[in-house]
Every structure is written in C-alpha cells, then in structure tokens.
Copies of this chain bind each other. A is one copy, B any other.
Amino acid sequence: MQVWKDYQVTHKDRFLEELLELLRIPSVSADSSFSKDVKACAEAVKLRLEEAGADKVEICPTAGHPIVYGEKIIDPALPTVLVYGHYDVQPADPLELWHSGPFEPVIKDEKIYARGSADDKGQFYMHVKAFETMSKTNTLPCNIKFMIEGEEEVGSANLGIFIKDNKERLKADVVLISDTAMLSLENPSLDTGLRGLSYMEVEVTGPNRDLHSGVYGGAVANPATILCKMIASMHDENNHITIPGFYDKVQELSQEERAALNAAPFDEAEYKADLGVDDLWGEKGYTTIERTGIRPTLEVNGIWGGYTGEGSKTVLPSKASAKISMRLVPNQDWKEISALFQAHFEKIAPKSVKVKVTTHHGGSPYVTPTDHVAFKAASEAIRATFGKGPIPMRGGGSIPIVALFEKELGLKTILMGFGLDSDNLHSPNEKYGLANFYKGIETIPYFHKYFAEMSK
C-alpha cells in the first residue's frame, strides 16, 4: 500500500534512532545488578507504544521484571492479533570479544551491532513501528494487543502467571511473534515450530575444601574429573543422548516430511566456513537441518571449577559445576525431561562425590499448523514484500511461552521472524541487518491486512 510506503520512507531515520535508543539500555534480565535498567527499558517501551497510538498502555508489575501491555481496539467485531515480544536481553559477556560496546550500538556494513539488536528489541520494535504506520495513516485493519515482557531470556515464569490472570484482557485470535530467523532475505522462510527447553544446573562436590593436589591428588575424587566423566557419558558414540527415557516421546517424522525439510537450501561448506570448523558434529543418522530442527539435544552452556585465573595453582577443587540445557521436540514434556535428567545425573554419580541438580527453567516444544489462516496470511504478507513465498522450516530455538499461549489462551502462534541464524544471538557482536529491520516493518502491516481479510 502506497500510504504505508510513504509513511515509512518519511520516518525511516526516526524509526532507527528510536531503536538505537532502546538498544542503549542494558536490560539484562539474568543479572540482578541490571534490574534498574530493565525497569527503565519497560518505561521506554511504554512511551513508544503510547506515541505509536496504543491505548491503555500499562507497565504491569510481576514478581520479577514487568510486562508492558497496550492495545488498540478499533472494532470488537474485527479479529484481534496479540503481538508478543520481549525487551530483555541476554548477558553480554564475554565482553572482551565484542568489537564495540554491547550497549553502544553502531551501524557497520548496513547492520546494527548491539546486544538485543536481533533478539528481540530490533524485532519486536518492527511491530511497534508497523502499528504506528497503520495507526497514523488510519489504515488499521484489525485490533491489536501488545504484550512485551522482560523475562524471556530467563524463562518467562512470571509471564505464565500474568497470562493465567489476564485471560479476558488477552483475548485474541492469534499470537504474532518476531523472535526467530529466516534463511535469508533472498530465501525467506517461516518457522512452523520451535524446540522446547529444559535448563539445568549441576554441582558436584568432592572434598569439603579445596585441597593441595600433591598432598591429596590421586587418592580423593576430583569433582572436575568426575563431572567431566558424567557429562561425557551423556552422549554415546553416535551422539545419542543416554538419559533413559529421553527419546520415548520424541515424534518421529515420516520420510516425506523429512525430505520436505531437507529440501530447504543448505550449503554445508558455507555453514562450516562461517563457523570456522573443519567438521560438523551431531546425532548419527540425521542431517544438520534435522539435528537443529526436529531432534532434541543436550548442550553444556557453561562449566567451571577450581582455579581459572592466570598462571597455575595446584589445587584439587572442592566443587565443579555446569549449566546444561536440553532442546526438546514434540511431544517431549519439559518437566518430565528435567526430572529424567535429574534422576539420571544423581544415579550415575559415584559414591565419592555428592551432586546437586537444579532446574533453571523450561518450556515445551511447539508446532504451528501450516493450514492455519494466520500462517497463510503470514505467507502472503511475505510474498507481497519479498516477491516470493516463504519456505516452511522448523526453528531450533525456544520461546518457552508459546506452548502456554495455546494451553492457557487457546491461541496458535505465528513465528514471523526476520533475523538470520548468523546474527550472533546470545553471542558477542550480536547484529541485525538494517534491511531486515525495514523489511519487517514493511511486511507486518500486510499480515494484519491479510489476516483480517482471510478471517472474514
């Protein structure tokens, strides 16, 4: 629509400036020393929603970080889209690997470098600006509700409570989220599912204090060695996960479904070159697309114990710990998997150590039916602005709350992400393409238009 295009061209620079301003707020939800910044970010989101034309904008307190809610109901008879996003970001460390400050956004090679640029500030903000476009040009084709939370990166526990307590307020016809990636701007894709997550922390304790490795070495179990042995045993020689019962509920796809998935463009040589690895690694019998989409995984996200400073210290540590998370696929249940993990970890611990297993958070996997009217609307929106329809893909990441939207609100979710896998999400030098940002703002209004039309 020319009126949208004109509006967006006129306000292009301001849209970007406003995003950069949001990116300057270090809203790290995992680290309590940033709580003030998280709160400031919620205030900024509230202000922008109001300016864009939303009503009843409110910072909703929770037991943790607040949720920003806002809505524009133009006609209760029209369909309603619930836009979900998150204004919190992952921790920025290791800081020394960033080429510029994680919270001092810079534009380089047509990309915005900053923590949160793609995940998810740059993406949810496209929705705010798409909404502004429709609102200010009086072309809003349906009702919109915004729910932008501050705890996605730490498991959305309080959002779950908020949803249960606000079912009436959140009534809608579909949930729309941009917090995933597409193959490329040349090969747009649309996620049909997300993996679930179970995030655990383990602590192995050997002796009750750090010991001199010469005096006691060789006679007392070293918790770092034992932890390594326990982690090592969790993948067998085919890289299958060895936790008993882990695969019991995994949905096996048909040969046709697998063939369809593997038809997506994938260049292994390019993939390896981008990552700087000589060889890939994964579960025997599955392709890379399958390993990251339809198969569950177990990854060590962090490990630590003993002396890790400069030089050497001949210590036999008292404790060693690891953060271990599992990505889950339909129909694995994250609480069940967390319990299986815990039971297994406790069982394989030798008597010479004590172990403590904690569940950080989790979420169940999710699949979007491709015949849903909103999926079709999203496909058409992409066709309208990209010139070609999207390739359906399974996303490897997790948005734990999506399964809850279905359970509590009865809503399906459309995962219309505009990022790229190479955006360095959760890594140093996270980036988001300017073209992706503007393409998102351009495409989203079409989703609302088609969804309203197709829902008639």
A175 in contact (CB, < 8 A): no
Q: Are the CB atoms of B295 and A306 closer together than 8 Å?
A: no
Interface hit among A274-282, A332-340, A377-385: A274-282
Contact check: which of B208, B275, B309, B353 meets A93 at CB < 8 Å? B309
Question: Which residues from chain B contact A296 at a C-beta distance below 8 Å?
Answer: 218
In the complex formed, the residue of B with least CB distance to A292 is: B219
Given contacts A214-B195, A280-B352, contact A325 B314 (CB under 8 A): yes
For the side of the interface on A, what is the size category?
Answer: 35 or more
A301 in contact (CB, < 8 A): yes
Question: Which residues from chain B contact A148 at a C-beta distance below 8 Å?
Answer: none
Interface hit among A7-15, A420-428, A440-448: A420-428
Q: Are the CB atoms of A216 and B292 closer together than 8 Å?
A: yes
Bound complex: CA A295 to CA B195 (Å): 49
| Interface residues of A, dominant DSSP | loop
Question: Which residues from chain B contact A224 at a C-beta distance below 8 Å?
Answer: 231, 300, 302-303, 322
Q: How far is the CB of A36 from chain B (nearest CB, A)?
A: 16
Bound complex: CA A108 to CA B382 (Å): 74
The oligomer's copy count stands at 2
A316 in contact (CB, < 8 A): yes
Interface digits, A300-327 against B, CB 8 Å rule (1 contact, 0 not)?
Answer: 1111111111111111110011110101
A30 in contact (CB, < 8 A): yes
Q: Are the CB atoms of B310 and A214 closer together than 8 Å?
A: no
A209 in contact (CB, < 8 A): yes
Bound complex: CA A207 to CA B295 (Å): 20
Bound complex: CA A213 to CA B30 (Å): 17
Q: Are the CB atoms of B213 and A325 closer together than 8 Å?
A: yes
In the complex formed, the residue of B with least CB distance to A427 is: B210
Question: Which residues from chain B contact A396 at a C-beta distance below 8 Å?
Answer: 214-218
Bound complex: CA A386 to CA B352 (Å): 36
In the complex formed, the residue of B with least CB distance to A229 is: B232
**Known contacts A31-B311, A90-B315, then 9 further A-B pairs from the complex at CB < 8 Å, ordered by chain A residue:** A32-B310, A94-B210, A199-B314, A212-B427, A217-B297, A229-B232, A300-B317, A313-B323, A315-B427
